[in-house]
Structure 1
Amino acid sequence: MASVLSIDPSWHPLINGCPPAWASEWGEDRYGVFVAFTLDAVTQRLRWIPPGRFRMGSLEEETQGLAESDVERVLFEQEHPRHAVIISRGFWLFDTPCTQALWEAVMDENPSRFKSPNRPVEQVSWDDVQTFIDRINARVPDLGLSLPTEAQWEHACRAGTETALYTGPIEILGENNAPALDPIAWYGGNSGVDFELEEGVDSSSWLDMQHPNPRSGTHPVGRKQPNPWGLTDMLGNVWELCADGLRHYEPTMAVDPEGPTEVGALRAAHGGSWADMARFCRSACRSGREPAFRYFDLGFRCARVQSS
């Protein structure tokens, strides 16, 4: 345990000025270190997520009174108890959800309902994403992408914070009205703002919308305020699939925890989406999805775990 606790969060793979062979750009800005690869003229940036310790899940006070059904009550109970987690190795993470442009460059097709190159790909299943990862890793030597575990995902989303959102607490004024979400997330309260595609979903009957609009859907990635580590759209836009399933939380500290990974196990998804009410767009909120499940609020972003 001592070696795990002595990790140096200030170390990163580019500290000696040696980018990987696949890098098309790299550098450091006010959010930290980044690197990118380019495939068929599509560039995807990854941010360095340092190792460290964080508190995973939510306090019971955060979800108290949020559930409006027994199903939601069970869902929110899965966020408890909040517990300490150590991520022992830093990793790279896409700074946005995977775009339709990148998906199409790898897969030669686009299953998304809200078609636009710079919007997140959706209507992809966990099984589909495994095929995508196998193909992109075959095309870009040593890229080594995977999905993040849900512990890695929440560590990256929180970026050192402990509140419901990475910008602070959330005050929910109505089902689709949480002003604190507006600067950082496309959710059920604002996803109709400036929505221009014909394939929009009829949102005219949605309750308590912060910005009422007749049609809603996903939006181009990277338009909202990033978290402290430079990641955008971690909340809202699309739910993001994780590598593992829903682990049962315990009050004890966990090191690099993983949920179920056997074939057919439900896979964790995090972050909420453009179609979700405010209570689902929180750093700790989690749900389970069948590996073959596809829907137009479900996407992903890839990770690259540093091997040394």
Structure 2
Amino acid sequence: MKKRVKGKSLKEIQPNTTYMGCTFYLDCVDGEDFVGTEFDNCSFRGSFCDWGRDECGLWMGFTYKDVHQVMRWIRPGTFMMGSPETEEDRYANEVQHQVTISKGFWFAETACSQALWEAVIGTNPSQFKGKKFPVETVSWDDCNAFTEKLNEQMKEWQCCLPTEAQWEYACRAGTTTAFSFGDSITRDQVNYSDTEYGTVEIKSLPFNNWGLYEMHGNVSEWCSNWYDEYDISITVDPVGPNDGTGRVIRGGSWDCPPWYVRSAYRFSVEPCGHDRDIGFRFCLRSQ
């Protein structure tokens, strides 16, 4: 039976509760707390200033220096990481194996925009300028400087790059095909190599089943892991090797052939490396 809470100012949400006329001051929230909740005429303040549910699941938004960013709640689950040997154009480093993501996390619904990057860092290194375009020409080191600076302002969060497993889990969004859209793609779905040149605005192409935009193509995205062959003996929350020479890049980009933008495709770049086709998206976890 659901609890009912009326007319209170609250700093936390509890599952299986109906809230009526409440005001929430949320600096950090776990998406699992929203299981079974209902809200009637409530308002949200604090770092997380708005929220909602739609056909893709739960989302929450925050605003940083007038730039709004929506985060999608990615629930825990188990999936097949890598590609089957029957997948067209696959590579040997995509050995398929079962992986469990044991904890949910908030994942940015888009690659980091130039507007948000400028709000946090103060400069814009991108070659294809536009506030609604993804930031690019950023190294892994640059992206970690971004997350560290955002963490200084939002102390209740741990803002970080996703692990490679988290990234592929979110990209697949419950699918097992080469792309989250099926076993083939069109340029109406993904920005990959074409006569057109460069990135497109974030949220200008279709989202996947979990509400994430441009996980395939547009800009490649940094992950937290060092790159190596998969250690398939680690099946729960793998974080990759302890060291290496390159960090994992996922998703392919605007100047890649279609087989580079598959859900399983993986390659690496040195942490100091940057190019006009490499960007990132970040995740948030509670401290």
Class of the TM-score when normalised by the shorter of the 2 chains: 0.7 to 0.9
Q: CA RMSD in A?
A: 1.9
Farther off after superposition, 295-304 or 239-248: 239-248
Within-5 A mapping of 1:115-134 = 115-134=129-148
Instruction: Give the one of 44, 49, 55 matched to 2:74.
Output: 49
Q: Distance in 2 between matches of 1:85 and 1:105?
A: 36
Question: TM (normalized to structure 1)?
Answer: 0.77
Report the equivalent of 2:114: 100
Question: TM (normalized to structure 2)?
Answer: 0.83
Structure 2 counterpart of 1:224, which letter?
A: L
Aligned partners of 1:42 and 1:102 also within 8 Å: yes
Report the equivalent of 1:143: 157
Aligned residues: 252
Deviation by residue 1:58-105 (Cα, 9 ceiling, x = unmatched):
012214xx38xxxxxxxx21112x110000001110000000000000
3-state secondary structure, aligned to 1:244:
strand
Deviation at 1:261, TM superposition (A): 4.2
Is 1:249 the counterpart of 2:230? The answer is yes
Report the equivalent of 2:23: none
Residue ranges of structure 2 left out of the alignment (5+ in a row):
1-30
Aligned partners of 1:84 and 1:253 also within 8 Å: no
- The structure with the greater share of residues assigned to strand is 2
Residue ranges of structure 1 left out of the alignment (5+ in a row):
1-10, 68-75, 171-179, 190-212
Instruction: Give the one of 172, 187, 193 matched to 2:192.
Output: 187
Q: 1:255 to 1:140 in 2, by over 3 A?
A: same
Q: Distance in 2 between matches of 1:38 and 1:305?
A: 17
Q: 1:248 to 1:306 in 2, by over 3 A?
A: farther
3-state secondary structure, aligned to 1:86:
strand
Structure 2 counterpart of 1:36, which letter?
A: G
Deviation at 1:17, TM superposition (A): 6.7
Instruction: Give the one of 242, 252, 267 matched to 2:247.
Output: 267
Q: 1:138 to 1:253 in 2, by over 3 A?
A: closer
Greater RCO (Cα-Cα under 8 Å, separation 6 or more): 1
Aligned partners of 1:240 and 1:269 also within 8 Å: yes
Deviation at 1:125, TM superposition (A): 0.2
Q: Distance in 2 between matches of 1:183 and 1:14?
A: 34
Aligned partners of 1:247 and 1:258 also within 8 Å: no
Q: Distance in 1 between matches of 2:232 and 2:86?
A: 16
Q: Distance in 2 between matches of 1:280 and 1:299?
A: 15
